[in-house]
Amino acid sequence: MARGDSRYRTVHNLYDTYHKVAVNRKYYSYRLDALKQWNTAIEIVIAVGVSSSVGTLALWQAGIGKAAWGLLGGVISILAIVKPFLQLPKQVERYSRLFVGNNEATFELKKLVDEVQEHRGLPPEIETKFAAALERLRQIEVDEDPLQNKRLMARFENEVNAEVSVKKLWLPRKAGE
């Protein structure tokens, strides 16, 4: 295999990996925020439901208010029962790890991409740093969503494509060019 082909593939792989983690960073940031909001909302609904002072308000004592309070009480009971099975705090922790890992990798790989652009080449130390970054990424990929939301991924792909112009990135020549 010609050295030019190897350098081309390595630089291309660096760019692809940078793009992937930049998309994942946005995806897991979004998922983490959404999950935290759901967790907070459920906690508030349960807290309001178990508060005896809310139940004594005149609003809930007659007519529609009485029926609504009964329905709300049922929903609150179901949420209180189901919440431990949802394991939202565990999911928040997992999404936090994924976001932090992809965030760190995005900045690390961006630095390597910038170095390749600056040198218009692939110094050995960049290859070494890239190999180390790939190993760290393998460790966090274990926790990734097996089925990522395709609509969200497409949205974040478009955002990253707008931020990082692939056409402006330097690539070494392929062997024979």
For the stretch 46-74, pLDDT in tens is 887 666 556 555 556 667 777 777 777 77
pTM equals 0.80
Which residues neighbour 123 within 8 Å (Cβ) at sequence distance 6 or greater?
Answer: 115
Q: How many other CB atoms are there within 10 angstroms of residue 140's CB atom?
A: 19
Q: With a cut of 50, list the residues of the chain below it in pLDDT.
A: 1-2
Which residues neighbour 30 within 8 Å (Cβ) at sequence distance 6 or greater?
Answer: 152, 156
pLDDT recorded at residue 44: 85
Pairwise CA distance, residues 76 & 52, whole Å: 13
pLDDT recorded at residue 130: 96
Q: What is the pLDDT of residues 16-26, one digit of tens each?
A: 999 999 999 99
pLDDT recorded at residue 59: 56
pLDDT recorded at residue 96: 97
pLDDT recorded at residue 2: 46
